[in-house]
């Protein structure tokens, strides 16, 4: 097990390496949650996530011991970048195995930190197998993403900082994938803020820690289904499960809509670009799944989001928050019909984003045309007014699936 002494030693190693990410109270999030909410912006950390902490603590220790000249790791993005930079700073060479469909920006960022990137397989599990084989053949030291005491201790330095930055917090909300960050933070909080609860947050489609806690041991999930790739892990380790059993008070899950709304809110109100995994803990607070009569501290763990995914997230978040709707309207196929529709939409002060016509369908009469209209609305109440109003004006309108 990792103890507070290990985390304090990691903090010394990281003193001149990590970037300060002081927690602060967000008025917007506090108003929405009904109480003070502190945000710890680890998405502003070097490499765009907390991962540099654990990676550097592990790799710099290897370098100091003289026990390695090269390291190897497997990752879809954040751990890859952390290992690449940590190896460069420690004077070691690094090879990182990444999936074939890993986002191009994450691949290039990993290369820019000095690592050799090898893309193999469809999943991180395939990459882990390849990385372990590479280690066996070449003698490179394998750097685990979470199943390692030095990695856990490095991640735990986030908890040390939170304890001094938000000393009155009664709840610490932490995203959980493999459990290294949650376990490390929970150890530090147990020592420095013993009255505070640490609550772990998983994506509903990748809740491997909750499954392991129920089963009494690590189990492998059959499938993963979440946009939050940073916490999409098939199985936790015995180490991180033991830490969760000992130090984490509760586990909760959030769905895709809750995550996307949190991403959008952080973008709009805080001007922060945060990846889905990084917004998971905040999603749990805003959805009411984590409550407290006192202050809540939320770890915003990473910001390495692919631009294409961010575009889809914005659209999805706007839709789930009632700010974006697609209408299906059947119109008579004659001049002026579309103008009448847009005039009715203007009366509701709706912003038309796009219009698509479809005339060929076995569900249409010969004198009909189908129009799909994408609209921007103010809020859910505004959205809910649209169809009843159009029907009152004689339009055959419905929300498109």
Contact 75, 124 (CB under 8 A): yes
Question: What is the residue-wise DSSP string for 264-316?
Answer: HHIIIII-----HHHHHHHHHHHTTSS--SSEEEEEE-B----HHHHHHHHHH
Chain centre to alpha carbon of residue 147:
20
DSSP state of 19: P
Tokens of 235: 């199985």
- Helix, strand, or coil here: 378? coil
Contact 304, 109 (CB under 8 A): yes
**Residue found under tokens 């765009």:** 48
Contact 48, 302 (CB under 8 A): yes
Tokens of 121: 């397989």
Kindly tell me the burial class for residue 193, based on how many C-beta atoms sit within 10 Å of its own C-beta (0-12, 13-18, 19 or more): buried
Enzyme catalytic residues:
51, 301
Return d(Cα 122, Cα 223) in angstroms, integer.
13
Long-range pairs, 92-98, Cβ under 8 A, ≥24:
92/59, 92/62, 92/63, 92/68, 93/69, 94/70, 95/70, 95/71, 95/131, 95/134, 95/140, 96/72, 96/131, 97/72, 97/73, 97/121, 97/127, 97/128, 97/130, 97/131, 97/134, 98/74, 98/127
């Amino acid at each position: 097990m990792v103890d507070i002494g290990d985390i304090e030693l990691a903090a010394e190693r990281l003193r001149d390496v990590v970037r300060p990410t002081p927690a602060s109270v967000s008025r917007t999030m506090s108003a929405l949650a009904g109480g003070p909410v502190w945000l710890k912006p680890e998405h502003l950390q070097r490499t765009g996530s907390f991962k540099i902490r654990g990676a550097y603590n592990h790799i710099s220790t290897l370098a100091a011991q003289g026990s390695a000249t090269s390291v190897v790791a497997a990752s879809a993005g954040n751990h890859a970048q952390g290992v690449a930079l940590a190896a460069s700073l420690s004077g070691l060479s690094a090879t990182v195995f990444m999936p074939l469909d890993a986002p191009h920006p994450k691949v290039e960022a990993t290369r820019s930190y000095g690592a050799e990137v090898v893309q193999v397989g469809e999943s991180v599990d395939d990459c882990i197998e390849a990385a372990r084989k590479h280690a066996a053949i070449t003698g490179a030291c394998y750097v685990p993403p979470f199943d390692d005491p030095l990695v856990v201790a490095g991640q735990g330095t986030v908890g040390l900082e939170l304890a001094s930055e938000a000393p009155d917090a009664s709840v610490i909300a932490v995203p959980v994938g493999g459990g290294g960050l949650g376990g490390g933070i929970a150890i530090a909080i147990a020592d420095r803020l013993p009255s505070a609860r640490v609550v772990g947050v998983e994506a509903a489609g990748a809740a491997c820690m909750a499954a392991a806690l129920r089963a009494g041991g690590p189990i492998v999930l059959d499938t993963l289904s979440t946009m939050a790739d940073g916490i999409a892990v098939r199985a936790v380790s015995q180490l991180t499960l033991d830490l969760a059993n000992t130090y984490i008070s509760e586990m909760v899950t959030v769905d895709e809509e809750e995550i996307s709304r949190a991403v959008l809110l952080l973008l709009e109100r805080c001007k922060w670009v945060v990846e889905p995994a990084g917004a998971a803990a905040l999603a749990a607070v805003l959805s009411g799944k984590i409550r407290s009569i006192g202050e809540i501290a939320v770890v915003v763990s990473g910001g390495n989001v692919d631009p294409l995914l961010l575009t889809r997230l914005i659209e999805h978040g706007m839709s789930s928050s009632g700010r974006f709707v697609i209408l299906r309207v059947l119109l008579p196929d004659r001049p002026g019909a579309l103008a009448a529709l847009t005039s009715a939409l203007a009366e509701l002060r709706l912003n038309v984003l796009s219009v698509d016509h479809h005339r060929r369908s076995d569900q249409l009469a010969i004198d009909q045309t189908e129009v799909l209209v994408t609209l921007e609305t103010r809020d859910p109440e505004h959205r809910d007014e649209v169809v009843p109003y159009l029907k009152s004006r004689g339009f055959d309108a419905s929300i498109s699936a």
